[in-house]
């Protein structure tokens, strides 16, 4: 899936930590699922095929506001 196919919920000048593509961000897919971009985390070893990312709380709050939740 290309980034252009996602709706970016954070980092659009709405109070997030930055607006660059290399920052933590939250995206929504056409099917309504959520894609999270952030720093890799080593908190624990996830199951095969999964990964852990760490994002600031402010990024999640911004995504919730964008979704109107």
Q: What is the pLDDT of residues 12-47, one digit of tens each?
A: 655 545 655 568 899 999 999 999 999 999 999 999
Please tell me the predicted confidence (pLDDT) of residue 21: 58
Phi then psi for 62, rounded to 5 degrees?
Answer: -65, -40
Closest by CA to 58, choosing from 29, 21, 26, 22, is 26
Structural domain containing residue 30: 3-67
Q: pTM here?
A: 0.79
Angle 27-35-17 (CA atoms, 0-180°, nearest 5)?
A: 55
Please tell me the predicted confidence (pLDDT) of residue 3: 84
> The tokens of 42 are what?
């080593």
- Answer positive or negative: Cα dihedral of 63, 65, 67, 69: positive
Distance between CA 7 and CA 27 in Å, rounded? 5
Q: How confident is the model at residue 55 (pLDDT cuts 50, 70, 90)?
A: very high
Domain count, the chain: 1
Please tell me the predicted confidence (pLDDT) of residue 40: 94
């Amino acid at each position: 899936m290309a980034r252009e196919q996602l709706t970016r919920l954070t980092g659009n000048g709405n109070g997030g930590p930055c607006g660059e593509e290399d920052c933590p961000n939250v995206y929504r897919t056409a099917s309504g699922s959520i894609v999270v971009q952030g720093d890799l985390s080593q908190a624990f070893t996830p199951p095969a095929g999964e990964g852990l990312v760490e994002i600031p709380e402010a990024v999640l709050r911004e995504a919730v506001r964008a979704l109107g939740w």
